[in-house]
Amino acid sequence: MKEINFDGLVGPSHNYAGLSFGNVASTTHAGSTSHPRTAALQGVEKMRFMMRMGLRQGILLPHERPDTDFLRQCGFTGSPAEIHAKAWQENPALFRAAFSASPMWTANAGTVSPAPDTSDGRCHVSVANLSSNLHRSLEAPQTLRQLRTLFAHPGHFKVHEALPGALKDEGAANFMRLCSHHAAPGLEILVHGAQGSGGFPARQSHAASEAIARRHGLDPARTFLVQQSDVAIQAGAFHNDVVAVANETVLLTHELAFERPDTLYDFIHEHLPEANIIIVPQSEVSLQDAIASYLFNAQLVTLPDGGMMLVVPAECRANKAVSTWLDRELAGNGPIRRIEVMDLRESMHNGGGPACLRLRVALSEAAEQALDSRFLPDEHGLDALARLITTWWPERIAPTDLGNPDLWKDCHAARLALLEHLDLKAALA
């Protein structure tokens, strides 16, 4: 059984509109000039590196932007160009939401329970409703269509529609799985928040996490719902994957990630005695440093030789406290044998690191063979994607460019070129 990481290809409309309240990086860089071409190529290079490490890699694709259907639902009429122009003129905030490239962060595409954990022995995927933010709440219909294309075989997969919006669900960014190895039954840990006294909202509801566990047919004895600490949320940890990451037997977590963390640690040790819980103390790496560097929004993966690798953004090396802790506590000691640094600056400035960019799916060989291969490029396929991005993706988008009709046309044409290249136009256009 292998784990496949499906990375979101950064879309041509990648811009810094600062739409995500509670995401410090997003709001800090609001109004900056973005570089969609560079952003997408940085993502391709991360995928290429993971492939060269012997890991299986897939892609998920940008959504149609501007989202004309959404703007039409908001009462704008006419041709797509007329709808976009009216929306930009009459309600720029709605238009910015319709133009967001946020589907690039596929950790929020849905929650995935591998077949060994479910009652019917199929891999279950629940599309996230992302109802906490308007721009992200638009994603579910196109995400559902894409995931049902990728995971189409009913004998191996069950793709569920998004939960009702009142049950706030943010997908795998608030989910962790621990196991002795990927093919073994796992412990599924679903993390929710509760609104505290601060100003930043909790984005994942307890009710949504319960519903995901029920619809996926999880074993209650091996499922744990834990509350993210309000301290972490108010510091800017809008999702659990900003303060904790897990892989097989390892949980790497900040000391202040959870309310009542000992209950979680006791559950893990009871059901997985070989688990290694690595706690980063607040006294050595503050929540502020962890969030600014995205230390925990890293990819923790098992290499073909059995050792683990932690892929962190370059900001971790720029932060003295984080870099010092990594060198002292991880490199060459314990289960995490290798640390790799990736330049994902464009995504980071909008609030998403290596973990945000990927949806991880553990699959048997038979289930892997049942995937739609158009979402599984090899290195030559990545080369072709890079050429297509260089040709079609805008080089830069300044805030004032969002109202430019030529940019809207260019983004539509770029995505259409991608779908035609992958022979997915009929399925996803």
Q: Cite the active site residues.
A: 170, 239, 356
The C-alpha angle 25, 10, 162, rounded to 5 degrees, equals: 85
Task: Give the span between the Cα atoms of 25 and 267, in whole angstroms.
Answer: 33
The C-alpha angle 397, 41, 426, rounded to 5 degrees, equals: 85
Structure tokens at 425: 């136009």
Please provide the size of the chain in residues.
Answer: 429
Task: Give the span between the Cα atoms of 164 and 212, in whole angstroms.
Answer: 12
CA atoms within 13 A on the CB side of 324: 9
- Residue 423 CB: number of other CB atoms within 10 A? 9
Q: Which residues pair with 2 in a beta bridge?
A: 363
Collapse the DSSP code of 6 into the 3-class scheme (helix H, G, I; strand E, B; otherwise coil) and give the result.
strand
DSSP string, 85-148: HHHHHH-HHHHHHHH--GGG-GGGTEEEE-GGGBTTSSEEEEE---TTSHHHHTSHHHHHHHHH
From residue 348, how far is each of 40, 134, 169, 295 by CA, in Å?
13, 21, 22, 12
Contact 190, 213 (CB under 8 A): yes
The residue with tokens 């000992």 is 262
Task: Give the span between the Cα atoms of 411 and 393, in whole angstroms.
Answer: 7
Region of 130 please: left (phi>0), alpha (psi -120 to 50) or beta. Answer: left
Please name which of 255, 259, 270 lies closest in space to residue 221, comparing C-alpha atoms.
270
Instruction: List the helix and strand counts (H, then E) for the chain.
Output: 18, 15
The residue with tokens 């299986």 is 56
Task: Give the span between the Cα atoms of 145 and 234, in whole angstroms.
Answer: 34
